[in-house]
Amino acid sequence: MICNSTTVKLSLRKALYSVLDPLYLAFSLAGVLVAKLLPAGRKQTSPGATGVLIVFVNAIGDFVLFSSMLPALIDHYRGQRVTLAGYDRFAPLVPGLSGIDDFISIRRERFNRNPVYRYRLLTQLRRRHYRVALYPAYSRSELGDDLMRLIRADEKIAYDGDTNNISIRVKQRNNRMYTRLIPSSGEKVRELERYHHFACELGVAPALLASPRLRAGATDITTAGQLLSARGLNAGQPYALIAPSAASNLRIWSTEGYGAVCTWLHARGLICVLCGSHGDRELITAIAQTTTAPVIDLSGQTTLPQLVALCAEAELFVGGESGPLHIAAATGTPTLGIVGGGHPARFYPWVDTARQRVVNKTMDCYGCNWQCIYDQARCISEIEPAAVIEELTELLKTLGGPGRHA
């Protein structure tokens, strides 16, 4: 039934896209022209320059990693007004970060499709002349570089970085607009270390840098508890949080595998709570149908702050390499990531490999930047449930068994 439903949905989506794609292309080209035709922001100094602008146009998980450098960076620019420009998807996490004075929200889909929205946003960014503008992403994108090009700032600093998200030709052309490029060694190091390196190059003392920390608000903890209680989970009853989805279908492990994990965890006293967006409901329903254990489906029913609360209160977290995995790790909850070889060990685990465990299937094509040469990512699809359960066994040993919140 699920396969048939999926086929119908894909057919309808394909028919819709055949109509909308030409319009989308036209609006996208118009939006690009708006960005390219606006004059570039000046690099020369201005007596009226003030404040610091940080541009961050990456995913939620990347933002969690990036947030680890923010307190020390804000302290480094003490006395300066700090503005963060980034995607609206991680906007709910910003109020929990002290020191950010302004947040300029970027709605990615509208930015890509709506030239009027793009023009207004770029005009907003150009109203002020900043003392310094920072773009700390190691894998720069054309969007990030376009924003930096149009911003007016005395200093524009970015990573030299790699070419995962941008061509060599475009990157070399864009390099000329920066007043300073943080050199990259080319070595395979963790993303968390790259952010810390960026901060240190700006003059931040290494001792001030730490792993990301997210704290759930009391209101969100209460609301999350009510969501669980309404679905039969008693207060104080231990649960495991499972987030099976990922940004790309290539990174999603099998529904049967997750079902086996739910069965195994339930036998050890943990109720499995499955979370995700509205678009993940079909995936989560499929997982629920493959397990004999009762599960709680919260797909599409939580805000981002409530997800932070669910992660913080969970006994452990299991999921793919996605935003919820990093959120769970940042709350201090023990995590198991089911990850592939697109970026081996770059984003996860961070530092604490005893509480941030990983299961994978090493292959010769590891490090492919998710340019998979197979119809499906074998480094994910061929992970056996037994391998995941083995890592979960070791994780529970580290914790001393379920009940860490008791």
Mean pLDDT of the chain: 87
Q: Give the span between the Cα atoms of 170 and 321, in whole angstroms.
A: 29
Q: Model confidence over 374-387: pLDDT tens digits?
A: 988 999 999 999 99
Q: Which of 74-78, 109-113, 366-370 has the highest mean pLDDT?
A: 74-78
User: pLDDT class for 344, splitting at 50, 70, 90?
Assistant: confident
Residue located via tokens 């409530």: 306
Q: Give the span between the Cα atoms of 187 and 69, in whole angstroms.
A: 20
Looking at residue 29, its pLDDT comes to 47
CATH, range 37-208 = 3.40.50.2000
User: pLDDT class for 18, splitting at 50, 70, 90?
Assistant: very low
Q: Model confidence over 215-260: pLDDT tens digits?
A: 999 999 999 999 999 999 988 899 999 999 998 888 999 999 999 9
Instruction: Over range 323-329, report the average pLDDT.
Output: 96
Least confident of 184-188, 245-249, 326-330, 397-401: 184-188
3-state SS, one letter per residue, for 10-47: HHHHHHHHHHHHHHHHHHHHHHHHHHHHCCCCCCCCCC
Q: Give the span between the Cα atoms of 336 and 353, in whole angstroms.
A: 10
- Selection from 279, 247, 261 nearest residue 383 by Cα: 261
pTM over 0.75: yes
Question: 3-class SS at 135?
Answer: strand
What amino acid occupies position 139?
Answer: S
Looking at residue 45, its pLDDT comes to 56
Looking at residue 25, its pLDDT comes to 40
CATH, range 218-399 = 3.40.50.2000
Same fold yes or no, 37-208 and 218-399: yes
Q: Give the span between the Cα atoms of 228 and 289, in whole angstroms.
A: 20
How many CA atoms does the CB half-sphere of 394 hold within 13 Å?
Answer: 14
Hey, which bits of 88-151 come out as E strands? 102-106, 129-135
Task: With beta carbons less than 8 A apart as the criterion, state whether 370 and 248 touch.
Answer: yes
Looking at residue 252, its pLDDT comes to 95
How many CA atoms does the CB half-sphere of 58 hold within 13 Å?
Answer: 22
Q: Model confidence over 133-157: pLDDT tens digits?
A: 999 999 999 999 999 999 999 999 9
Q: Which residue has the higher pLDDT, 30 or 60?
A: 60
Least confident of 6-20, 28-42, 317-331: 6-20
Omega prior to 349 cis, within 30 of 0: yes
Q: Which residues are CB-contacts of 303 (< 8 A; sequence separation ≥ 6)?
A: 92, 220
For the chain, the structural domain boundaries read: 37-208, 218-399
Task: With beta carbons less than 8 A apart as the criterion, state whether 282 and 260 touch.
Answer: no
Instruction: Over range 266-292, report the average pLDDT.
Output: 96
- The β-bridge partners of 241 are 273, 317
pLDDT of 389 above 90: yes
